[in-house]
Structure 1
Amino acid sequence: MGVRYTLHFWTLALVILPGVLGDNWGVWYSKIEICAVRESTETIRCRYTYPDKNMKALNVMWCKAEKCYNTDYIYHSNEDITIIEEFKGRTNYLGDKQNTCTLMIKDIRVEDAGYYSFSFETTDRWTGVPAVNLQVTELTVNTNPPGRIKEGDNVNLTCDTTCKLNQSEITLLKNKQDLGLPSLQFNSISYQNSGNYSCALKGNITISSKQMILDVQYPPKSTSVSVSPSAEIVEGSSVTLTCSSDANPRVQSYTWFKENRAVSSKRQTYTISNMSSEDSGRYHCQARNEHGVDNSTAVALTVAAKHSAQLIIALALGIVLVVAVMTIVYFERRKSEDPGRIKQAEEEGVSYTSIQYKKKPAKSTAAGAADG
């Protein structure tokens, strides 16, 4: 037993001072503290040496313990040795029986946190001390300052862990799209920066944190008024004005104005019944929430008198009727004139033929007189 404890002391010395006794017995880990993200795959890099380079280790093993003695194994080269049930199918030994003892653990779980050590057997058993301390963390997104965020605030978004994880290994996602940065700084944040943010591992964004909803609040904007019905307004009719606005949180109150004077309605819609000429004018609305107000552009309402509208309709119908009558008369006259024109053309053709026939004998008589 005394020899074994002495050998363990030298293993510890080799870990602390690698290179001093590096050609003798020893186990080295690249890191003695590892921060792993839940559900990720972690590789514990390891190497070991012993004096006889021509000899191979009889067995190599990994334990979830500070020392690999009198404990259960998470990996053992002897397949007859029982492995801890929770690690079956999740460990992969990447080493050999010569010098390399690297171990891969897949699908890291919170309960995997703890110490891990490697051991090998030749004529005796050797283990690497101090053991590797594996810490398991969740990824979370934090906002600074915390709490409600409104447009114009300065806001920082960061990926946080419970153990020290290299920032180059993580990235922020917005609406599941990789932003390529582990943190974001918004100077005068905009409502357009709203979205679902999460942290993820670079190269494997499927391993990510729960989404954090960044809800940027803002006062009303793009306020407008619509009129229904949109046709000409006549006396006695009704008109409804509707105020629309984009706001977060939603608009809490509306105010209607006629010629810049507030009217009684405080609702999103303003209905004017039995309209008269006195209701003509320019109307606009004002939308308000806890962050501010916004005014719409004014719309002009013109109320036409009933008799004026009726007169316009009568005139329009009269014009249509006159045009229709004139069109009918025109075509009837064309029909009555066409047969006379055809007859005249035929008579002119007969007369012309008759004249041509009579001239030919006259020329023959004249020629006979000249001969005599």
Structure 2
Amino acid sequence: MTPVLVINSGSSSFKYQLLDMDTERTLASGLVERIGEPVGAARHTVYATPTDGPSPAFLDATRTRELPIPDHTAGFQVMLDAFAADGPSLTETPPVAVGHRVVHGGARFFEPTLITPLVEINIDELSVLAPLHNPANLAGIVAARTAFPAVPHVAVFDTAFHQTLEPPAYTYAIDVDVAASHRIRRYGFHGTSHKFVSEAAAAFLGRPLAELKQIVFHLGNGASVTAIDGGRSVDTSMGFTPLEGLVMGTRSGDIDPAVLFQLARRAGMTIDDLDELLNKRSGLLGLAGSNDLRDIRAGIERGDVRARLAFDVYVHRLRSYAGAYLAQLGGADVISFTAGVGENAPLVRAAALATLGFAGVEVDPERNAAPERGIRIISTDASAVTVLVVPTDEELEIARQTLSVARS
């Protein structure tokens, strides 16, 4: 057995997953949340060993607890107590490495990186580019290195996959000296997911990754789309921050910057007000009052005009990027949908691709609507472009990259 522990740390919570990399099966997973509040919460799930099929196959045990969790270090002790009480035993089979999701690697980190004190300093310095994410990621790293001091810890950066962007794709048309002074450029995010999905699609189709032109839609509460040529990211919708691009659950996506000038001058909104508006009170929530597409769909069925408009705006942006990336790639071999919405909303998939017949895209209505799970084709046999649903597994991708660094 080769266990790898994956940590995804937020400001007041962290998720974890223990995987056996000999089989790439999930052994246990959990969530520690409400860190720093009077009463925190922890959930630990152990998975039984299936005889075949992808992991996890079925639950063996789940335990939830409520208790004070003052900081991340205390949270890691709660996690260790859960492993000791319910298994798998980290004493008998300790992790060979710990992988950490880090949101922003700037232009410094373009591959999974062994964490050292200098790397920690760099992650901290990059917090100016991701003030909501990197400090929380670093808190998880510090706590995890205290809990597991004898094993290698590896940072896997959301931005790393997009370090292959060429200057025309990552450069904003502003004063070059200002941009250089403040490190302003397109970085892109969701890179771990885009990498996993594009490689899984090539493997599923039995085609060399290097020969494929792919468009991957990662559609969840946060959403992005990436153009991938031969396994390399060549364009992506998120930019300097995860705010740019598609319409999302609570984020606006693309917007004329002058709108912010107008709201500041005429509505008296501060920088913090504008930040909250675009990141937390926009997108589907701002348009329809809910950031859940299931609510939007129910509203449309009731004849709710706001819900209809929200859906149409959402789809309009998807089509715009699909067309743009077909142009950037010079056509596509594969279009894949992943994440919560991408994997579970046939209506969104069909609507996003409905106008792409000119590019040889044909979605099969029955395949698209089928309640199947797992990776699958939803295009017709005659479609010139293969359309897939590919469940993402960012934890597995982080574990793979972590193990490769630990073994090198």
- TM-score if structure 2 supplies the norm length? 0.17
Q: Which has the larger radius of gyration?
A: 1
Bigger helix share: 2
Bigger strand share: 1
Structure number with greater CO (CA < 8 Å, separation at least 6) is 2
- TM-score if structure 1 supplies the norm length? 0.18
